[in-house]
Structures are given as structure tokens and as C-alpha cells.
Chains A and B, each alone.
Chain A
Amino acid sequence: MRALLALLILVLLPVAGAHAQREPSGVKGLFLLTDYPSQTVRAGEVMTIRVMVNNAGLLPQPLALALNGVPAGWKIDLLGGGQPVAAVMAGVNQEVAVQLRVEVPKNAPPGSQTVVLTARSQMGQQASLPLTLTVGTETPARLSLKSRLPSLRGTPRTAFEYTLTVGNDSGKDLTVGLAAQGPANFQSTFTEGYGSNEISAIPIEAGQTKDIKLKVTPPRDVRAGDYPVLVKVAAEGATAEMHVVLQVSGQGRLALSTRDGRLSGEGESGTTSTYTLVLANDGTAPVDEVELTGTVPANWKIEFNPKSIASIAPGDKKEVQALVTPADKAIAGDYMASFRAAARGEQASADFRITVTTSTLWGIVGIGIIAVALLVLLGAVARFGRR
């Protein structure tokens, strides 16, 4: 962040200056700039120092770069655009970035070393930048972990999403491993900011922070209560941890079925048939004020006994009688009826197939007619029978 600010000022200042006082063009010359001219390095490590070569108001010309005072055993390369370079060329009022790749030997003794970088043109202009590199003891990695909303409330079916800010407070880039420890069967996943990929580690540059998202899904059958989840971030021995809390409020869940699970039945047109329905609450909170309704074909009648149930405790079952009367003129065949149970915010429905049969009265009448015909025949035989 600070480096960015410095760069911004570096870029903006000449522009602003140029606009504000164009003709008396202020500073003129050749400059070598770096953010931190005095730095700490660690033995056995490689670090990169960014240096800007700034040409303020001079004619562009090749500038030879040279390093003086490199301690014995150290290796310092000048890189430009990833390649070793020996000279740079900056346009008028422009700057060129150069990296110093410093390899500190493992056995470098603690203490300060001064390296001088010089840029010299053929015309004789020159600029130099002394860099003080102190071989020091290693500063420990430090991480911070914050959450804006560490406690969320929801139902067992909610996905709890926490936005966490992980900061790298140490002087070097770290790859931070992420872990969350919740109660058994709680599923937790990390995603990056607005991304959708699940991650288990995230690289964070020195001094930067990153937002990550933690999603915790409780098991469906979790009881109401508060559940803490321990979030742990770790990198190179540094750890930070915090607790986020899931406040799970219970939720009832209705299920409508029959005693043996069979969703079909038989009925006779014009007569009432009774089907036993089973209302189960397989949720985690009681279901209150369950009202039963049903949809049946036209001119059918449907009633429930009881019509409503005051409350069903979690894991409990209640039986309800559905009294269905097919219409008097219902034609034999299969019909669809649907039963619904609705409570506050919860509902369940079941489609029920009813096979309607018709009365056998007509069959008896038919047999009667045949019997009458036979009687007529017998009467004729008796009346007209002769030799």
C-alpha cells in the first residue's frame, strides 16, 4: 500500500508540477529513486529492490549503470524487464524501472552494508543512489484475521457466509493456509472474494490484506443453538485464529404421507371413503397451526378429521383422516386428488390416486331384467304349452 502511494506521488508529482508551473520547469536532472533506501535483508535469501531511473528535463541518452561496494560473497544483478541489463535510457520526463536482485549469502554476518548504484551518461551527467542493506535477524511472519460479521443467524437450511479479512503484516509475501474447525458434520468451504473456486490457501503480498469468504453449511437435522467455528490461518509458523458463530434457529419440516407410504386408494361414487394420512415433522423445531386442505375433482367432497393440528413436535407424527366422497355421477376410473398441509412457513403436499368404482346396483337390476325375460318365456311355455 505504501509503495503504491509512493509510486502514485512519483507519477503524479511531475504531471501536477508540469501543469501548475509549466515554464519554470522546476527540478532538472537525473535521479535514481527507490522507496526504501535502507532495508533489512536476511541471510540466505533473495530479495528484489525496485529502483526508478528518472530523467527530469534532460535529453534522452543511454545511461550506464554500475554498482559499487558489493560485499564479498554477495551477488547483485541488475534486471530490467526480467533480463540482466547494463544500461538504461529514459525519455524526457520519463522513468525506467530497474530491479536489483540481491542474493545474500547464508553466512553473511549481521551488520550494515552500503551498495552504491550509479547511472552515468556519456555527456557526464550522473546520479548515484546509496542503498543500505542491513543483514538482520529474521522478522517473524505475522498474520491478522478479522471478520466484519462474526455472528450470523439462520435456519438449518441456510448457508452461513462470513467475509474474513486476512492480513499479512510481515515484510515478505506469504502463502496462507486456511482451515476451519466446526462441530461434527458441519461443512465449511473457503472461496476467494467473489470467486466461486474453493480454496485452501491464498498468497498474500507483504503488508497486504485479502478478503476471503467462509461458507458453513450445518447438517439439516441440527438442533437449534449456537455453534462456534474456529477459523485458523497459518503461514510459516505464524497463525491467527478467530471464532465465528452460527446461531441456528430451529425449523420445522412437514412431510405428508400415509401409514404404509402408499399414495393410492379406492373409493365408490357417492360414498365416503376414509384414508389415513400421516403428518410427520422431521425438522428441528415444532410446527404450529397445521391446516389441512385438499383438491379433489369437481363435485367431490373432502373433509379432514381433525381439520387442523395445533402443534407437531420435532420427530413426531400425527395421523389425520381424510374423508373423500366422490361425486354421485363420478365415472369409474382413476382420479387424482391432492392433500396439502400448511403451517406457518412450512407446507407439504401429496398427490393421491383414487380408483373410483361404481355401485353394483345396476348389475343386480340387469340380472333382474334377464330373470323377468326368462319368466316371460316360462309363462309362455306354461300358457301355450300343448301337445
Chain B
Amino acid sequence: MGSRASLALRRQGSPFTGIGPVLVKELADHLSSVRMLVLTLFVIAFGAFPVASSLQTLRTVVDPNSFLFLRIFTLEPEQVGISFVAALNFIIPLMAIGLGFDSVNSEFNRRTLSRVLSQPIYRDALLMGKFLAGLATFAVVLVALWLMVFGAGLLLLGVPPRGVEVARGVGFLVVAIAYGGIWLAISMLFSVLLRSPATSALCALGLWLFFLLLWPQLASAIVSGAAAGEIRSVEDYAALQDLAMGLMRLSPGTLFSEAVLALLSPETRTLGPMLPAQMRGAILGAPLPFDQSLLLIWPQITGLIAGMIVVFAAAYVVFQRQEVRA
């Protein structure tokens, strides 16, 4: 590598030249594709059902919560048994994987990659454009969904949301997009690593299922192994809980659900265990100010965004080192 990095091979100009055309083209491809239509229908079907049920519940039952609009997102209707945000916790990774699993290797297989790269477009710009286009598509769908939920809430509840509720809702939207971004980056990494789109999709979905189903069990097994009968005080127990939480937070889904919990349930004070000493004198049920909620989940938001960037950087490095003339 070092020998090849001579001045002659050095790039001239910005690495982002051509990012615009790639982005626009990819976005157009995404938005007009049948896959996109299927994914959108999938999202709307999955999202509409909990929202409709929770709206019905909110209309009939007097909710003492002062953040009525946020309850649309978090309420767990009896008929459905899953809240809107819990449904999103499933849908977002699926959708992101669906958008990204074949973004690079399909170009390989159709032998279009070298044709694209013969244009005055850098590889950097190609990958970044594909990623940003995927993220933008994803953001469009989510924003549409979010607006539909707020509109339905306005229509059926007849109460305008307060400013702080809108702010928290927007925060939720940002977190959801970052969560989708991390899975998009993961699926693109697989699409760069593996030449077969089916394998790439399988790997990405497998990783998602691993984090969803296996990781909680694995984490608790690790924690019980680490404990080894040494819990003597509340501090020991708290330390163990911290370890369990730390392991669980390696999963992007945990980060997302914690961030959403603090954003949409303002009375959430802490995400970890709370010592009795910390509880003393606390007025329970009092909502935190928005900035304090944001501070509480700042590590989660940071983790999601930084994770997205790091995974994308990994995909980028792998892609740059690949031989594209197949």
C-alpha cells in the first residue's frame, strides 16, 4: 500500500466530487423502486395499527399524563400489546437493512461499478452518496410517518401539542434516524464485504436477530458469571447492574429504546439502577425539563451517531481497498 501511495496516484481535488449526482440518482432509484413501496407499506401497516389503537384508548380513557401527545407513541394498547415505539424498534432495522444490503455488491454483480467509476466520480463519493441517499430515503419515510401520527393525533384528540411535546417528538425523530443510520451502515458494510446480496442480507439480518434475541441472554450469562456469589452490598449489586447495562448497551436497539424512553416519558429520571439514598426526597412523577432528558440520554445519542460513523468508516476503508475491476 505504502509503495502505491505515490504522488502520482494521489487524488487531485476534493474526494466528494460527484457526490451530488450519485445522491440524486440513488435517491431517485430508491424512491421509485418496488422494494421501497413494499417497505413503506410495511412500515405504515406496522405503525398504523398501534397508533390507531392507542388513539382509541386515549380518546376513551382519561389519561392523567400531561404529555398527552407523547402518549400516542408510548401507550401500549391492550388489543395490540405493542406500542408504536416498540413496533418501530423492529421496523427500523428491517427497513434500513432492506435499503442497504445490496447497495454495493449488486453493482458488482451487474458489472456497473467500473462503468460508474469511469465517470469523474471518486469511490469515496460513490459510497458516501449511496449511504446518504439511503439515509435520506429512510428519513423521508420516517418523517412522513411521524407527521401522520401527529396529524392523526391532532384530528382525533382535538388537542394541539405543546411546544415541549413537539420538541421531544423531533428529538425522537432524530434518534430514530440515527438508529436507522447505524443499521444502514452495517448492511452496507456487509454489502461491501460480501459479493452475494443474499449472503449479505442474511448476515445483516442475522446480526440483527443476534442483538434482538441472543444478546440479552448472553449478557445476563456473562453478568452471572462475573458475579460468582460476591454480592455483599448494595454497591456490589449496583456495580453488577452497571455491568449488565453496559453490555446491553452494545446493542443499538437498547440504545434506541433507552433514548426513546427518556424522550417520550419525561418523568424518566434515570435509566440505570437507582440507589434508595438517591430516591430520598425525590418527588416522583415530576417531569424532567427537556434539556435534562436530553442530557440523560446524551451518551445513547452519542453512541448511535458515533457508531453509525465508525461502521460507515469501516465500510469505507474496506471498499477503498477492494479491487473493483471484476
User: How many angstroms from the CA of A357 to the CA of B288 in the assembled complex?
Assistant: 9
B298 at the interface (CB under 8 A from A): yes
CB within 8 Å of B: which of A342-387?
353, 355, 357-358, 360, 362-363, 365-367, 369-370, 372-374, 376-377, 380-381, 384-387
- Looking at A52-60, A106-114, A331-339, the stretch in contact with chain B turns out to be A331-339
Closest chain B residue to A382, Cβ basis: B15
The residue from B289, B302, B320 contacting A386, defined by CB atoms under 8 A apart: B320
Question: B281 near A332 (CB under 8 angstroms)?
Answer: no
Contact between A353 and B283, CB atoms less than 8 A apart:
yes
Q: Are A329 and B278 in contact, CB atoms less than 8 angstroms apart?
A: yes
* B316 interface contact, C-beta 8 A: yes
B280 interface residue, CB < 8 Å from A?
Answer: yes
Q: Assuming A373-B306, A381-B124, is B11 touching A331 (CB within 8 A)?
A: no
- CB-based contact A360/B295 at 8 Å: yes
Which residue from A330, A366, A377 sits with its C-beta under 8 Å from B302? Answer: A366
Q: A335-B283, A337-B281 are in contact. Are A385 and B124 (CB under 8 A)?
A: yes
A298 at interface by CB-CB < 8 Å: yes
Cβ of B112 within 8 Å of any chain A Cβ, yes or no, is no
Which A residues from 304 to 326 make CB contacts under 8 A with B? Answer: none
Q: Mark B281-304, 1 if CB is under 8 A from A, else 0.
A: 111001011011011101101100
For residue A299, CB closer than 8 A to chain B, the reply is yes
For B, the interface residue count at a CB cutoff of 8 angstroms equals: 38
Number of A residues near B (Cβ < 8 Å) is 39
* Closest A residue, CB atoms, query B297: A366
Minimum CB–CB distance from B186 to chain A (whole Å) comes to: 15
Q: A298-B281, A332-B296 are in contact. Are A381 and B302 (CB under 8 A)?
A: no
Q: Report the minimum CB–CB distance from B172 to chain A (whole Å).
A: 18
Least distance between B41 CB and chain A CB atoms (Å)? 34
Residues of A within 8 A of B288 (CB): 332-333
In contact, A296 and B309 (Cβ under 8 angstroms): no
Describe B's contact surface by its main secondary structure: helix
Chain A residues with CB under 8 Å of B291's CB are 357
Q: Are A297 and B281 in contact (CB under 8 A)?
A: yes
Binding-face segment, B47-55, B75-83, B269-277: B269-277
State whether A369 and B302 are in contact (beta carbons under 8 Å apart), knowing that A332-B269, A358-B292, A377-B316 are contacts in the complex.
yes
B309 surroundings in chain A (CB, below 8 A): 370, 373-374, 376-377
Query: What residue in chain B is nearest A326 (Cβ atoms)?
Result: B281
Instruction: For A334, give its contact among B280, B283, B298 (CB under 8 Å).
Output: B283
Indicate whether B232 reaches chain A with its CB closer than 8 angstroms.
Answer: no
Chain A CB within 8 A of B317 CB: yes
- Name 25 A/B residue pairs within 8 A (Cβ), A-sorted: A295-B281, A296-B281, A298-B280, A298-B281, A332-B269, A332-B288, A333-B292, A334-B282, A357-B289, A360-B295, A366-B302, A370-B302, A370-B305, A370-B309, A373-B305, A376-B309, A376-B310, A377-B316, A380-B313, A381-B15, A384-B316, A385-B15, A386-B10, A386-B11, A386-B123
**B residues lining the A interface (CB < 8 Å):** 9-11, 15, 122-124, 269-270, 274, 277-278, 280-283, 286, 288-289, 291-292, 294-296, 298-299, 301-302, 305-306, 309-310, 312-313, 316-317, 320-321
10 A-B pairs with least C-beta separation: A297-B281, A366-B302, A384-B320, A334-B286, A373-B309, A373-B306, A334-B283, A298-B277, A377-B313, A332-B292
